[in-house]
Structure 1
């Protein structure tokens, strides 16, 4: 039997590479004669940078840049560079990922994407011609405002003062000045990998759906949704374009909106981009089974998370798919409609829902 091991990271527990190692250990004990193909995956969130660097192979480099973290603290963030084709790989989670904050530190009202802008500047300084921007796993809900400020844009209140960091401050936005935006951005192709298809605002928007996991209370969610809607309106007044309803604009606390509006980026499903980079479809031709997984499988996973993207691809080729999930949430059964064959919960919380389910 030939098996491809293609998990995403298990948030707050294992990286994708560590998950591959753990699965490999189990397979070697249970099926010692099996052959396996290690293929760590990502859908734009934490760990996607590693997957792309590994997939790119010879020539890919890992660089580090000192940037502001989600709460303004200085941290070392990794980014990828391929000097042969002048391509930079920038993972938002490296600069302002949720993994950098404890539960008590998470504050969706005030966290900022400033560090992402600093990584983009590092790529521009390296003469990048193409930037792959990976959105997912963010601790932020500022619609990319911090990134824009780092890149030279000015977001001002009615007194002409720069806005403070965070999404909540956007409710006070009176003027968007783009004259200082780094001119080199117009010479770069930006591809944006998103792991969800949510719009910027509304019932399925960034604040309502993802704000609570970033520390937002019910009151905070209302504040943030209104602030992001106000930001979108002011941006539309300035540029004439309004992408607040675009699928994926709500990715990473609204960074999808900023990438599309200000960087001219097309929003692509992150798992599709990564599968293309690693040659996943070609590798599927050689296997009998796929094992994938991530920390949680639920209804939101259907919007473009790694296990579902892989299952859809494998279904086209008639290859069965097993999903290992740290826990199962409401709507997880929908995975069976997307090509998943079996779902196995790997933690006690997941086991209480259902240990093993097979379509």
Structure 2
């Protein structure tokens, strides 16, 4: 049997490559003849860089500013002139010193510095994953790091952070990195929020980054000034475009200033890591993430993996730390069964700390249920707490290749 293992991370426990490795170990231990292809994935947020490196991209270290200006050691991934940049790894919430939110002052500058490093190295295709950002600066810091100048009414440089945009009067793009004229920028984003208003970057995502109601009003007004300055400098009115509000407005700057295109995160990552090329020869796909919940159904990695597997007519099952979804919830995704750590270990703390060995045990259950052509009915396949999401008396036999 040939199995493609394509999980996302188990947040707080294991990276996606680590999840894939434990699953592969469990699968081959239970069925030594099994061929396992490990394709760790991500949805454009945390873990995108790891997924690219696992797929053969070269990790290129970079020193850049974190969201509040402190230096951080980050990287981009490069292959054949394409650079994969993960905003979460340089300007993300996890880079906030002490985890303290800085809704008004956090900046996307470091992300621009990483892009600049990739351009300086000759990369001419930039794939930017923008999930998990700490800032609400409309991408102003990003374009500042790429050479743009933000001026106030007296011609002085505007500082970094969303609140500082309340003083912007003009945007100068003459110093923008020259390689951007020929570079392709593709942004991985799964949100359709505009930049401004009740569904905008400040209103929807600001509170998640520590913004008070007063902060939200201030940031939204500052972003409106930023949008007017960008429109005046570029002639592009992107504030209302779907995705402009992504990552605190980085989507807006990417669209209006960098001429970027936006793509769903998991679709973009699946292309980057070669998942679609690996699936047609598979007998089974195993995906998963730490928590299967309502968000899974809206563009998260397991749903994207399942859609691609279903398109190739290959059955797919999922592993998870926990699953909050019913069989009816998951049926439209094509995920036929769910195997959760909590099925075999009810203690959440042990699930977090012992996720690796528990995943190996779940992989053995996957082999027991899906590794032969013997029919197993749903009741048998859900014994010992393993939850089935397939309706009907039996599963079809797997194709043997």
TM-score by length of 2: 0.77
2:355 matched to 1:358? Answer: no
Task: Find the counterpart in structure 2 of residue 115 from structure 1.
Answer: 110
Contact 2:66 2:96 in 1 (8 A): no
Instruction: Quickly say closer, same or farther: Cα 1:109–1:132, change in 2 above 3 A.
Output: same
* Whole-Å separation in 2 of the counterparts to 1:324 and 1:133: 27
Name which of 235, 242, 246 aligns with 1:240.
Answer: 235
Name which of 225, 229, 239 aligns with 1:230.
Answer: 225
Instruction: Quickly say closer, same or farther: Cα 1:29–1:230, change in 2 above 3 A.
Output: farther
Instruction: Quickly say closer, same or farther: Cα 1:226–1:303, change in 2 above 3 A.
Output: farther
Over aligned residue pairs, what C-alpha RMSD do you find? 3.0
Task: Find the counterpart in structure 1 of residue 125 from structure 2.
Answer: 130
Instruction: Quickly say closer, same or farther: Cα 1:33–1:81, change in 2 above 3 A.
Output: closer
Task: Find the counterpart in structure 1 of residue 283 from structure 2.
Answer: 288
Instruction: Quickly say closer, same or farther: Cα 1:125–1:301, change in 2 above 3 A.
Output: same
Contact 2:17 2:54 in 1 (8 A): no
Instruction: Quickly say closer, same or farther: Cα 1:127–1:282, change in 2 above 3 A.
Output: closer
The CA deviation string for residues 59-106 of structure 1, in whole angstroms up to 9 with x for no partner, is x43221211011100111111233xx3332222222112222367412
Residue correspondences, number = 352
The CA deviation string for residues 246-295 of structure 1, in whole angstroms up to 9 with x for no partner, is 23322222212111111111112222222123322231112233222234
Task: Find the counterpart in structure 2 of residue 47 from structure 1.
Answer: 47
Secondary structure in 2 matching 1:6: strand
Secondary structure in 1 matching 2:305: helix
After TM superposition, the structure 1 stretch with the greater mean CA deviation from structure 2, 314-323 or 332-341, is 332-341
Contact 1:249 1:257 in 2 (8 A): yes
Task: Find the counterpart in structure 2 of residue 5 from structure 1.
Answer: 5
Q: Provide structure 1 residue ranges, at least 5 long, that are not aligned to the other structure.
A: none
Deviation of 1:340 (Å): 2.8
After TM superposition, the structure 1 stretch with the greater mean CA deviation from structure 2, 231-240 or 328-337, is 328-337
Instruction: Quickly say closer, same or farther: Cα 1:129–1:282, change in 2 above 3 A.
Output: closer
Instruction: Quickly say closer, same or farther: Cα 1:287–1:330, change in 2 above 3 A.
Output: closer
Secondary structure in 2 matching 1:229: helix
Q: Provide structure 2 residue ranges, at least 5 long, that are not aligned to the other structure.
A: 352-384, 391-401
The CA deviation string for residues 168-187 of structure 1, in whole angstroms up to 9 with x for no partner, is 22233222222222222112
Deviation of 1:27 (Å): 3.6
The CA deviation string for residues 144-191 of structure 1, in whole angstroms up to 9 with x for no partner, is 111111112122333433333222222332222222222221122222
* Whole-Å separation in 1 of the counterparts to 2:118 and 2:221: 33
2:109 matched to 1:78? Answer: no
2:238 matched to 1:207? Answer: no
TM-score by length of 1: 0.85
Instruction: Quickly say closer, same or farther: Cα 1:119–1:310, change in 2 above 3 A.
Output: same
Name which of 331, 338, 342 aligns with 1:336.
Answer: 331
After TM superposition, the structure 1 stretch with the greater mean CA deviation from structure 2, 298-307 or 11-20, is 298-307
Secondary structure in 2 matching 1:11: coil
Task: Find the counterpart in structure 1 of residue 21 from structure 2.
Answer: 21
Deviation of 1:20 (Å): 1.3
Contact 2:180 2:258 in 1 (8 A): yes
Name which of 302, 308, 312 aligns with 1:313.
Answer: 308
Deviation of 1:32 (Å): 5.6
In the TM superposition, 1:139-218 aligns within 5 A as 139-218=134-213
The CA deviation string for residues 285-321 of structure 1, in whole angstroms up to 9 with x for no partner, is 1223322223444444444221121121122223333
Secondary structure in 1 matching 2:206: helix
Secondary structure in 1 matching 2:75: strand
* Whole-Å separation in 2 of the counterparts to 1:179 and 1:51: 35
